[in-house]
């Protein structure tokens, strides 16, 4: 077990699977007391048990972040209580991804995706950041996506929400950074557990990149640890691409 986050407390949303789970586990391994948040109590308990089994500290707080102010405030309040009165690190990871075409997207789906992917982290940050300021500082990490900046033919709605998240990251860095709360984002490439049912299809989207293959959740977790730790104290308002080179590099086969 490392100690890069020793003494820190952290709330990770959407932490019962994939990237969120990997981040929660990495934080626990680095010494943080982690609140694992998500909708499934069963999966949450599994993540918590795994962190504790490796000597870490973790608790589960159920939350359905539907975009309402009430849901975000309730999670902030309960996580603060569980963590002993403060949240040092907030990871806004929870999100949903419908891959429908623009013409096939109805208004209900549009509103739901923006509620979960934009409104929920907005109001959760609004509930948590002022307390971080009062406590003397903190770190907020938002999860974006490579398709926020590289257009693909499916998922325009989701892509637009991640573009909003990147804009919020920069705005919040300007708003809270001078008061010792660092705000940054991570933009993953195609990242799924290797046993995911869609792994072959998802992996094909990483062809033509330097990595040449799909990434693992643990790669994103390592970046999150860096942005949460004191070693990144001079880092504000960035979007850290952890995408195998997907957005910045084209590899042309000889």
| CATH number of the domain bearing residue 148 | 3.40.50.720
134 in any annotated domain = yes
What does the chain look like in DSSP terms, one character per residue?
---TTTT-EEEETTTTSHHHHHHHHHHHHTT-EEEEEES-HHHHHHHHHHHHHTT-EEEEEE----S-HHHHHHHHHHHHHHTTS--SEEEE---------TTT--HHHHHHHHIIIIIHHHHHHHHHHHHHHHHT-EEEEEE--GGGTS--SS-HHHHHHHHHHHHHHHHHHHHHGGGTEEEEEEEE-SB--TT-TTHHHHHHTTTTSSS-SPBPHHHHHHHHHHHHSGGGTT--S-EEEESTTTTT------
Whether 114 is a known active-site residue: answer no
Q: Domain total for the chain?
A: 1
Would you write out the chain's pLDDT as a tens digit for each of its 254 residues?
579 999 999 999 999 999 999 999 999 999 999 999 999 999 999 999 999 999 999 999 999 999 999 999 999 999 999 999 999 999 999 999 987 899 999 999 999 999 999 999 999 999 999 999 999 999 999 999 999 999 888 889 999 999 999 999 999 999 999 999 999 999 999 997 655 555 566 677 788 889 888 999 999 999 999 999 999 999 999 999 999 999 999 887 64
246 in any annotated domain = no
253 in any annotated domain = no
119 in any annotated domain = yes
252 in any annotated domain = no
- Which residue of the set 97, 114, 158, 226 is catalytic? 158
18 in any annotated domain = yes
pTM over 0.85: yes
4 in any annotated domain = no
150 in any annotated domain = yes
Residue 141 belongs to domain spanning:
9-241
């Amino acid at each position: 077990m490392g100690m890069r986050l020793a003494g820190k407390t952290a709330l990770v949303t959407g932490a019962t699977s994939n990237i969120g789970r990997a981040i929660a586990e990495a934080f626990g391994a680095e010494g943080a007391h982690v609140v694992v948040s998500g909708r499934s109590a069963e999966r949450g308990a599994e993540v918590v048990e795994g962190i504790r089994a490796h000597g870490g500290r973790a608790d589960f707080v159920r939350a359905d972040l539907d975009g309402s102010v009430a849901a975000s405030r309730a999670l902030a309040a309960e996580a603060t209580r569980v963590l002993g009165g403060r949240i040092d690190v907030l990871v806004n990871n929870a999100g949903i991804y419908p891959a429908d075409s623009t013409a096939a997207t109805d208004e209900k789906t549009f509103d739901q995706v923006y509620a979960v992917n934009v409104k929920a982290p907005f109001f959760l940050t609004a509930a948590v950041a002022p307390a971080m300021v009062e406590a003397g500082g903190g770190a907020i990490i938002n999860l974006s996506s490579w398709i926020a900046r590289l257009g693909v033919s499916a998922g325009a709605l989701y892509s637009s929400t991640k573009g909003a998240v990147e804009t919020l990251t920069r705005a919040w860095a300007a708003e809270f950074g001078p008061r010792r709360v660092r705000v940054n984002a991570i933009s993953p490439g195609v990242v799924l557990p290797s046993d995911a049912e869609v792994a072959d299809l998802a992996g094909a989207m990483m062809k033509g990149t330097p990595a040449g293959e799909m990434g693992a959740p643990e790669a994103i977790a390592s970046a999150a640890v860096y942005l949460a730790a004191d070693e990144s104290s001079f880092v504000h308002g960035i979007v850290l691409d952890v995408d195998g080179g997907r957005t910045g590099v084209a590899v042309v086969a000889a």
